[in-house]
Every structure is written in structure tokens, then in C-alpha cells.
A = this chain, B = another copy of it.
């Protein structure tokens, strides 16, 4: 039966937040509309009162995942000198505390492979998220604006590459790659 506008908004947010977790845990193709609705305590039939297509949910969920990640990053980096902040973030990114909880982890490491074969709309949302992450990291780098941005992209690409290779490999190889990519000294 019909619910209040307020409750509908709450449902919408719960679907999106649940999907933001499920997508990172299971990937785009292995997360069904039914699962996303169940995670919000609803049934699949009502899905299309909230989203035009499954892809529209994917876009909103990806946006939510990036927002979550940016909040987390700012909490991690807050109030530290640049060198320490970057080193700690680098170590955190490659840690089991981060990579062992895919549902709350960086959407770039968890979903880049899936998004590469997804719709333009989703790629645009992904690009927006990446640029926000880069900007946040760049704020802690040294040099001109362009130098900081490029340094951030290089550092972030290293982290993402190491994380994705590790997640796709057997445990032994994963461990070696993560160790090699941690900051020196």
C-alpha cells in the first residue's frame, strides 16, 4: 500500500545505500534488482517506482559509494602533515582493514573492471568520482596545481593497480604485490 513521501525517500536512500554495498561486494552483474530491494526490506516489484532502469540505480549507488569513500578519506587525512597523511593513506589503502571489507571499500578498486564494460552514464559517474578522489589526494601533494594533480593520479593508480591485482590473485602472489607497493621506509 502507499506510504508517505517521507517514508518513500527513506526507502530510496536505503535501496541506494544497500546497493552501494552489494555492488562493491558482488559486482554489477552479480547483484540483482531483487537483492537490492531485499537489502532495503522491500520486494522487487516496487523497484520501478524508484528507478527507471537497473542502470539508474547503479549510477546512484556508485555516486553514494564515492561519497562514502571521500568522507572516509577526509577523516583519514584530517589534521596531519602532508607527508604523514599520504603515507598513512597509502598504507591504509593496501591494508586488510580496507581490502578485506569490500562492501565499504574504495569503489575504484572494487568496481573499475565492471564499469569498464558498462554504460556511458555509469562511466561518467565513475569519472566524476575518480576526479573527486584525485582532487582530495592532490591537496596533500607538493608542487604546482598540475604537479600535485599528476602526482595524485600516479599515486592513486599505483594503489588501485596493486589492490586489483592482489584481489584477483592467489593469496601468496597477492601478499607479495601488496608488500612491494607499500611506501618504502
Contact = CB atoms under 8 A, between A and B. Distances in A.
Interface of A: 26-27, 29-30, 108, 111-118, 120, 123-124, 126-127, 130-131, 149-150, 153-154, 156-162, 164-165, 167-170, 172-174, 176-177, 180-181
Given A114-B113, A130-B173, A162 B157 contact: yes
Give me the 9 closest cross-chain CB pairs, A-B, nearest first: A113-B113, A161-B161, A127-B173, A157-B161, A153-B180, A127-B169, A160-B161, A127-B170, A115-B168
Copies of this chain, tallied across the complex: 2
Nearest to A26: B117
30 contacts: A26-B117, A27-B29, A27-B113, A29-B29, A29-B30, A111-B113, A111-B168, A112-B164, A112-B165, A113-B113, A113-B168, A114-B114, A120-B170, A124-B170, A126-B168, A127-B170, A127-B173, A131-B173, A150-B180, A153-B180, A153-B181, A154-B180, A157-B162, A157-B165, A157-B181, A158-B161, A159-B161, A160-B161, A161-B164, A164-B164
